[in-house]
Amino acid sequence: PIVIANVEHRFLVAEQMREAGIRPRAIVLEPEGRNSAPAAAVAARRAMADDPDAVILLLAADHAMARPTAFVEAVERACAAAKAGCIVTFGIRPDRPETGYGYVLTGREHPEARGVHRVERFVEKPDAATASAYLADGRYLWNSGNFLASAAVLSAEIARLAPTIDEAARTALAAATRDLDFERLEPAAFGHAPAISIDYAVMEKTDRAAVVPCDPGW
């Protein structure tokens, strides 16, 4: 994995990697928190530096999957759509009108990926009345906040839809410094990135969004 974390968490991350027996490809340190879109931009560019054809799975560190096998199966279904140019999210069937999650309106099945659907609409954190309407509709899923995409496609969409973020990530990576097992993003460049989620910056605007309905015990 490529782990992106705040500079204050560097030794905690390194120790947990050792405890888990995982040798990360990189531990990239953010000088300050700027939400998930800048982190995703850095992840995509960092992955492409090693492999221009990389497909990346963006996973939030504070999520738990009680049925990881079901999640792995969903990732495998999503791979075909990601390789066909989609940015795939993992949709969870809602059981209550939750206002703290984003919602995805599922569309037709992707022609090149069974079990993957086009996203008709992507809505971030609706109010209570709207969330209740989505629950009653039955076609809306919660957005789990985890994504699968070609690194090149994700990077291109960030550059198209959020060019300031792309510029900040590219410059901060180019001027990054090595420190033991860590890669430190250049603070001034990274600080120019607006603090915004990948959901708002890209997923609500892109025409490449797709969703895999799944039940991994999220």
* Confidence (pLDDT) at 46: 97
The tally of CA atoms less than 13 A away on the side-chain side of residue 182 is 19
Is the distance from CB of 80 to CB of 149 less than 8 angstroms?
no
Which regions of the chain are under pLDDT 50? none
What's the CA gap between 105 and 35, in Å, rounded?
24
Query: How much is the pTM?
Result: 0.93
* Confidence (pLDDT) at 93: 92
- Greatest CA span in the chain, whole angstroms? 53
Is the distance from CB of 193 to CB of 31 less than 8 angstroms?
no
* Confidence (pLDDT) at 112: 86
What's the CA gap between 22 and 15, in Å, rounded?
10
Q: DSSP character for 184? A: E
Is the distance from CB of 118 to CB of 212 less than 8 angstroms?
no
Cα first-last separation, the chain: 21
The tally of CA atoms less than 13 A away on the side-chain side of residue 112 is 10
* Confidence (pLDDT) at 153: 98
Is the distance from CB of 88 to CB of 212 less than 8 angstroms?
yes
Q: Which two tokens stand for residue 81?
A: 């759509």
Is the distance from CB of 104 to CB of 143 less than 8 angstroms?
yes
Is the distance from CB of 201 to CB of 87 less than 8 angstroms?
no
